[in-house]
């Protein structure tokens, strides 16, 4: 007797190992179309991202090759802008100064950030959490304000210089030099380097160093032979990012180098394109030159990294690392770190706060005789200044959150896609760093005028969020990139083998592992958006001014007291976020 069996209708068509949704025939053509859908969506996102990131550059490139401003009709093609640029002795000298300024500043910021990350993220030091907060303080203050505080404190005829000369007859080294500019720029960028290295160090399991020390290696040798090679992507990202940040630096060269006539490329562009006359052709030509420089850096980084799989350290059995006990030596290390913080950050910050409560300040006049609240009264008595504070908070929170989501998607698309997609995303991600922030603002303004419907964005907070996102997207990409490279794809494959889709594997595996890096990325976007002023200079309207543009206007009028008051307000608005994020493990 034969036993009959019934086969239930399948809910999905299974062909060639691929499970298709119910109702889809299992033909070869359909399988190919369905299987290629994820790649198609990756390319769609990539092309949209490229269009967004190059939107400021297209009008500028066009402007660089025409003989009149973009908004004027009848423009003719010409190479005259480049001819004038390369023939200008001022441009040649500015390029040389920019190179050494960037090299010295990058060396300082990278080395200081790396050493600080090793000490504060690896060692069990007394007051480690507090030291981390204090070390990150420079990123909570605009470079404009930091340069002003250093100039008023450590510069020639500054408070500390006058105090030292009146008490000892000695004077501080001249801050208004190329070396002084590079020192301040390196100190201000060191927290960014720290955040990059801290994210990478968090994903290196302690078992690797433990094995090296068990084999007889000293802690220093274990660090140099295990940690340094594994964070090579972060190191190269950091060097490239800091080099570009120094090239793009405007506030420090303008305030510190300006009195000594030490001109770099950013101040050359400012003097020729913004401050003196609106020579947009010259500015655009210089921006194209900077774009070529940055792309050369990206290509060099690609070949320096080689096979990305060599840096994978996070696997399915990775254990969370612990802190290394150092005993009494920890007090000495903490003391040295605190000394660095006191000299570079704490004293200038306290001096800045004190300056906000005085009409002027000098050691030759008692502090009690110049104390006043007029600086805060001036800031808080004008609706436009108060509105700029609210606008800044909205742009920083909303824009920072949106930029973090965009960066996360970009990282996933770049490093979970074929090499062709990854190359396009990586190359495009650093394009915005090729031009100064104020030129980004001009480019976005031109793009809004040219594109259909773009005029609706003019004078709104949305255009500020778009401009800030484009400007700082390379920074966020550099923050998340190294951490993404260290996540082994075997865990995602295991999730898909267990029945989860690709999106499910990203949410369940990648997102939790990148939690620390994502928080750091949002914090970086938040403070960057909060203190940005260059890109907003050509984009804000009567009701959309931000703190940065307000400070710039007050500084141009010589109102250093209200500028200090606004910087104190900025510090108190951003410091709680740092405490919330970094004061807990």
> Any idea which residue has 């290390």 for tokens?
333
Identify whether 13 is part of a domain: no
pLDDT class for 360, splitting at 50, 70, 90? confident
> Any idea which residue has 């030596």 for tokens?
329
Alpha-carbon separation of residue 475 from 405, 517, 583 (angstroms):
14, 12, 23
Would you call 15 helix, strand, or coil by DSSP?
strand
What pTM, to 2 d.p., does this model score? 0.73
Q: Can you tell me the distance from the alpha carbon of 393 to that of 399, in angstroms, rounded to the nearest whole number?
A: 10
* pLDDT confidence of residue 405: 93
Identify whether 319 is part of a domain: no
> Any idea which residue has 């750091």 for tokens?
520
Q: Which of the two residues, 298 and 390, has the higher pLDDT score?
A: 390
Identify whether 12 is part of a domain: no
Identify whether 457 is part of a domain: yes
pLDDT digits (tens, 9 = 90+) for 476-502: 888 888 788 877 777 777 777 777 677
Q: Which of the two residues, 519 and 199, has the higher pLDDT score?
A: 519
Which ranges constitute the DSSP H helices of 307-418? 329-341, 347-356, 374-380, 383-394, 400-415
In this predicted structure, the answer to whether residue 395 has a pLDDT above a threshold of 90 is: yes
Counting the structural domains of the chain, the total is 1
Contact 209, 134 (CB under 8 A): no
Give the domain range for residue 128.
38-312+332-582
pLDDT class for 145, splitting at 50, 70, 90? confident
Query: Span 230-237, mean pLDDT?
Result: 74
In this predicted structure, the answer to whether residue 397 has a pLDDT above a threshold of 70 is: yes
* pLDDT confidence of residue 237: 76
Q: Which of the two residues, 60 and 234, has the higher pLDDT score?
A: 60
In this predicted structure, the answer to whether residue 522 has a pLDDT above a threshold of 50 is: yes
Query: Span 128-136, mean pLDDT?
Result: 85
Q: What angle do CA 330, 332, 336 make, to 5 degrees?
A: 115
Query: Span 44-68, mean pLDDT?
Result: 86
Identify whether 318 is part of a domain: no
Query: Span 449-466, mean pLDDT?
Result: 83
Query: Span 132-152, mean pLDDT?
Result: 80
Tell me, what CATH number does 406's domain have? 1.10.3720.10
pLDDT digits (tens, 9 = 90+) for 78-106: 888 899 888 888 888 988 998 999 999 99
pLDDT digits (tens, 9 = 90+) for 313-346: 454 444 455 677 778 888 999 999 999 999 998 8
* pLDDT confidence of residue 332: 92
Percent of the chain with pLDDT over 70: 80
Bridge partners, 123 (sequence order): 324
* pLDDT confidence of residue 392: 92
Query: Span 526-555, mean pLDDT?
Result: 81
Identify whether 20 is part of a domain: no
Query: Span 232-238, mean pLDDT?
Result: 76
Identify whether 11 is part of a domain: no
Identify whether 22 is part of a domain: no
Mean pLDDT score of the chain: 79
Torsional sign, CA 137, 142, 144, 145: negative
pLDDT digits (tens, 9 = 90+) for 33-52: 445 567 778 888 889 998 88
* pLDDT confidence of residue 1: 44
**Of the candidates 568, 580, 583, which has an alpha carbon nearest to the alpha carbon of residue 142?**
568
* pLDDT confidence of residue 406: 93
Q: Can you tell me the distance from the alpha carbon of 566 to that of 557, in angstroms, rounded to the nearest whole number?
A: 15
Q: Which of the two residues, 300 and 155, has the higher pLDDT score?
A: 155
């Amino acid at each position: 007797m034969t036993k009959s069996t019934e086969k239930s209708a399948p809910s999905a068509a299974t062909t060639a190992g691929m499970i298709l949704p119910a109702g889809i025939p299992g033909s070869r053509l359909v399988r190919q179309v369905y299987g290629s859908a994820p790649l198609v969506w990756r390319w769609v996102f990539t092309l949209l991202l490229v269009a967004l990131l190059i939107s400021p550059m297209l009008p500028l490139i066009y402007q660089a090759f025409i003989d009149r401003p973009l908004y004027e009709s009848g423009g003719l093609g010409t190479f005259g802008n480049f001819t004038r640029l390369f023939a200008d002795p001022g441009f040649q000298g500015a390029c040389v100064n920019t190179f050494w300024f960037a090299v010295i500043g990058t060396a300082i910021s990278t080395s200081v950030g790396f050493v600080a990350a090793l000490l504060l993220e690896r060692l069990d030091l007394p007051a480690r959490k507090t030291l981390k907060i204090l070390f990150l303080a420079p990123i909570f203050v605009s470079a404009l304000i930091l340069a002003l505080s250093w100039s008023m404190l450590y510069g020639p005829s500054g408070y500390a210089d006058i105090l030292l000369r009146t008490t000892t007859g000695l004077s501080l080294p001249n801050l208004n030099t190329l070396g002084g500019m590079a020192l301040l720029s390196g100190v201000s960028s060191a927290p960014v380097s720290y955040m990059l290295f801290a994210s990478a160090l968090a994903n290196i399991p302690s078992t690797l160093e433990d094995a090296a020390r068990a084999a007889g290696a000293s802690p220093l040798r274990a660090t140099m032979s295990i940690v340094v090679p594994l964070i090579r992507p972060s190191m190269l990202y950091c060097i490239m990012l800091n080099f570009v940040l120094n090239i793009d630096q405007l506030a420090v060269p303008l305030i510190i180098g300006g009195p000594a006539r030490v001109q770099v490329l950013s101040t050359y562009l400012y003097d020729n394109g913004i401050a003196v006359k609106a020579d947009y052709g010259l500015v655009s030509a210089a921006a194209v030159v900077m774009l070529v420089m940055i792309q050369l850096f990206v290509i060099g980084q690609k070949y320096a990294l080689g096979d990305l799989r060599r840096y994978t350290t996070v696997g399915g059995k990775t254990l969370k690392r612990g802190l290394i006990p150092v005993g009494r030596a920890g007090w000495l290390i903490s003391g040295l770190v605190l000394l660095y913080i006191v000299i570079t950050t704490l004293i200038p910050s306290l001096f800045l706060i004190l300056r906000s409560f005085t009409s002027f300040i000098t050691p030759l006049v008692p502090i009690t005789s110049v104390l006043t609240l007029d600086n805060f009264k001036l800031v808080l008595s004008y609706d436009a200044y108060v509105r700029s504070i609210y606008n800044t908070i909205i742009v920083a929170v909303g824009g920072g959150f949106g930029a973090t989501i965009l960066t996360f998607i970009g990282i996933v698309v770049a490093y979970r896609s074929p090499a062709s997609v990854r190359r396009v995303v990586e190359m495009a991600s650093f394009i915005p760093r090729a031009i100064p922030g104020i030129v980004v603002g001009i480019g976005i303004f031109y793009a809004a005028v040219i594109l259909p419907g773009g005029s609706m964005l003019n004078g709104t907070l949305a255009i500020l969020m778009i401009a800030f996102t484009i400007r700082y997207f390379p920074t966020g990409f550099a923050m998340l990139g190294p951490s993404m490279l260290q996540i082994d794809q075997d865990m995602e494959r295991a999730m898909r083998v267990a029945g989860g889709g690709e999106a499910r594997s990203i949410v369940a595996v990648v997102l939790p592992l990148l939690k620390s890096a994502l928080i750091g990325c949002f914090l970086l976007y938040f403070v960057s958006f909060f203190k940005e002023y260059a890109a907003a200079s050509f984009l804000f309207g009567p009701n959309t001014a931000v703190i940065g543009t307000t400070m710039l206007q007050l500084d141009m009028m010589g109102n250093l007291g209200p500028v200090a008051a606004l910087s104190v307000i900025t510090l108190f608005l951003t410091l709680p976020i740092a405490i919330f994020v970094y004061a807990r493990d």
